[in-house]
């Protein structure tokens, strides 16, 4: 296990290094000169030159790259070309909003998805099953931004149950939750649907396997059978799907942030790309990459805990 973890960690570091390098290159391939964008209509040849130097863009690309790599290794993500403030700080300001949304979406969708999936599996082909799976299909199919828009118009604008703007007061968890309800529904419903479908099919498969019958024969009550045996055996595929979906969440959050006018890293990245704020783009991509690599790592480790049959070779 330890050796496996060490190897995985090393692999993750390499992946992150590649991503840092790729993001450095890719954003520079996009047409547009940050100095010129900053100066806009005020640009003169002389000012352009001074501004490029100030932004460090006058140095040869390899030098820029090595400097950047060096500072990343020291934990310094550089300074925004526009606000001239540290990138790490700007991201830190926005990160909690994104994390809030992602955590609530994951929790809620997994909780509801699991419950619905298990119930649907156990009561297979009943009305409950058909209903649950139809709802899941609907949420799987509706675009998050349109769902968000509908929720927003219905619950915020017409019924006035939920707030329209802002991300809430960080000092008050209740207020925070109040602001998170609709964005969570918009973002989490898709994952909830995926988890429900996956849970249902995995549990059905597990219930049909041979070892469930002896458990029943032993006189274990039905709920026990499901939880002890069926769900545990279904855990691996469910975990993997949750892992994949959490990654997808990071992408979806950008859209949901836009619909609900919420602050967050997705919004930060989109603005940074459109203004060619190189260090900011690199910083945000770096953060997302670290997040994804971490989630992948955790899912893999969780596999082992959930399913003792998996050996780390």
Partner 1 sequence: MRRTTVLVVLTALLLAAGLWSGASAQQAGRSNTLRFVLSQNLVTLDPANLGFAADRVVAQNVFSGLVTFKPGTAEVIPDLATRYEVSPDGKTYTFYLRKGVKFHKGYGELTSRDVKFTIERYKDRTQSRLVADYAPVERVETPDPYTAVFRLRTPFAPLLSTLGWQSGFIMSEKAVRELGRAITTNPVGTGPYVFESYAPGNEVVLGANRDYYGGGPRIEKVVLKIIPEEMVGILALQRGEVDMMPLRTVGAWKLLKSSPRFQVIEVPGIWMDYVMFNVTRPPLSDVRVRRALAHAVDWKAMEEFYSGLAELNPSFQPKTVFGWTKDVPTYPTDLNKARALLAEAGHAGGLALEIQSRKELMFDQLAVLVKDWWAKAGVQGTILITDAAGELAKINPPARNYQVHVQGLSRLDPDHYYAPFLRSDSTTNYMGYAGADDLIDAQRTAPDAKTRRQVLLQLQRKIAEDLPVISLGTRKSLVVARQGVAGITAISYAGVVIFRTAHFAGN
Partner 2 sequence: MIRRLLRNRSAVVGMALLSIPMLAAALTPVLTTANPYTTNMTRQLTPPGRQHPFGTDQFGRDVYSRVLWGSRTSLAVAAASLLLALTSGTLMGAAAGYFGGMVDDSLNRVIDLLMAFPMMMLAIIAVGVLGAGLLNVIVALGVSMLPRFARVVRGEVLAIKARHFVEAARAVGAGEGRILWRHILPNSFNPLIVMATVYMPYTILVESSLSFLGIGVSPDVPTWGLIIADGRGFIQLAPWISTFPGIAITVTSMGFNLFGDGLRDALDPRLKI
User: Which of partner 1, partner 2, none interacts with 138 (beta carbon under 5 to 8 A by kind)?
Assistant: partner 2
Residue list 10-69, contact with partner 1 (CB under 8 A): 30-34, 36-48, 50, 54
Torsion of Cα atoms, 244 then 247 then 251 then 254, to 10°: 130
Which region, judged by CB under 8 A, interacts with partner 1, from 81-89, 126-134, 205-213, 248-256?
81-89
107 binds partner 1 (CB under 8 A): yes
Q: Which of residues 115-174 bind partner 1 (CB under 8 A)?
A: 115, 118, 152, 156-157, 160-167, 169, 172-174
Give min distance, CB of 258 to partner 2, in A: 6
- Using CA atoms in the order 293, 294, 295, 298, what is the torsion angle rounded to 10 degrees? 120
Torsion-angle region of residue 84: left (phi > 0), alpha (psi -120 to 50) or beta?
A: left
Treating both helix axes as pointing N-terminal to C-terminal, what angle do 278-306 and 61-73 enclose, rounded to 10 degrees? 50
Specify the 3-state DSSP secondary structure of 77.
coil
- Interface contacts to partner 2, rule CB under 8 A: 14-15, 18-19, 22, 26-27, 29-31, 137-138, 140-146, 149-150, 153, 198, 237, 240-241, 247-252, 254-255, 258, 266, 269-270, 273-274, 285, 288-289, 292-293
Instruction: Write the DSSP string, 170-236.
Output: TT-HHHHHHHHHHHHHHHHHHHHHHHHHHHHHHHHHHHHSTTHHHHHHTT--HHHIIIIIIIHHHHH
Q: Is the dihedral of CA 296, 102, 151, 149 positive or negative?
A: negative
Contact indicator for 56, 67 with CB cutoff of 8 Å = yes
Q: Enumerate residues 254-313 that contact partner 1 by CB under 8 A.
A: 258-264, 267, 271, 273-276
By the rule CB under 8 A, 108 interacts with partner 1? yes
The option from partner 2, partner 1, none interacting with 181 (CB < 5 to 8 A, set by class) reads partner 1
What Cα–Cα distance (Å) separates residue 214 from each residue in 208, 218, 223, 311?
12, 6, 15, 26
**Residue selected from 131, 137, 177, 305 as contacting partner 1 according to rule CB under 8 A:** 177
Shorter beta-carbon distance to partner 2: residue 207 or 225:
207
Interaction between residue 178 and partner 1 (CB under 8 A): yes
**Minimal distance, residue 54 CB to partner 1, in Å:** 7
What is the spatial distance between Cα 143 and Cα 141, in angstroms, rounded to a whole number? Answer: 6
Nearest in space to 155 (alpha carbons), one of 187, 183, 174, 134: 183
Min dist. Cβ of residue 218 to partner 2 (A): 29
Of these partners, partner 1, partner 2, none, which one is at the site of residue 302 (CB under 5 to 8 Å by kind)? none
* Most distant CA pair in the chain, distance: 86
Q: How many residues bind partner 1 (CB under 8 A)?
A: 75
Q: Does 223 bind partner 1 (CB under 8 A)?
A: yes
Binder of residue 220, out of partner 1, partner 2, none (CB less than 5 to 8 A by kind) = none
Tokens of 198: 């996956």
Q: Which is nearer to partner 2, 13 or 50 (CB)?
A: 13
């Amino acid at each position: 296990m330890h050796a496996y973890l060490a190897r995985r960690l090393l692999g993750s570091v390499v992946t992150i290094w590649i991503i840092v390098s790729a993001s450095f290159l890719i954003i520079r391939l996009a047409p547009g000169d940050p100095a010129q964008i900053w100066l806009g209509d005020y640009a003169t040849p002389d000012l352009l030159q001074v501004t490029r130097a100030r932004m460090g863009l006058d140095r040869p690309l390899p030098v820029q790259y090595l400097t950047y790599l060096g500072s990343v290794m020291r934990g310094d993500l550089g300074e925004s070309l526009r606000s001239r403030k540290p990138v790490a700080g700007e991201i830190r300001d926005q990160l909690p909003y994104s994390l809030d949304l992602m955590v609530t979406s994951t929790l809620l969708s997994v909780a509801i998805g699991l419950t619905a999936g298990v119930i649907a599996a156990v009561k297979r082909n009943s009305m409950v099953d058909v209903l649950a799976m139809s709802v899941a299909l609907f949420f799987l199919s509706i675009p998050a931004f349109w769902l968000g828009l509908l929720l927003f118009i219905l619950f915020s604008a017409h019924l006035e149950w939920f707030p329209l703007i802002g991300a809430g007061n960080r000092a008050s968890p209740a207020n925070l939750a109040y602001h998170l309800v609709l964005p969570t529904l918009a973002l989490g419903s898709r994952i909830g649907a995926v988890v429900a479908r996956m849970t249902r099919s995995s549990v059905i498969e597990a219930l049909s396997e041979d070892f469930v019958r002896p458990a029943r024969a032993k006189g274990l009550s039905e709920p026990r059978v499901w939880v002890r045996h069926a769900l545990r055996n279904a855990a691996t595929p469910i975990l993997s799907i949750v892992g994949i979906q959490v990654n997808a969440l990071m992408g979806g959050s950008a859209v949901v942030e836009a619909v609900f006018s919420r602050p967050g890293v997705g919004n930060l990245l989109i603005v940074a790309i459109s203004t060619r704020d190189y260090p900011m783009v690199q910083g945000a991509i770096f953060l997302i990459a670290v997040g994804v690599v971490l989630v992948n790592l955790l899912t893999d480790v969780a596999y082992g805990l959930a399913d003792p049959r998996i050996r780390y070779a």
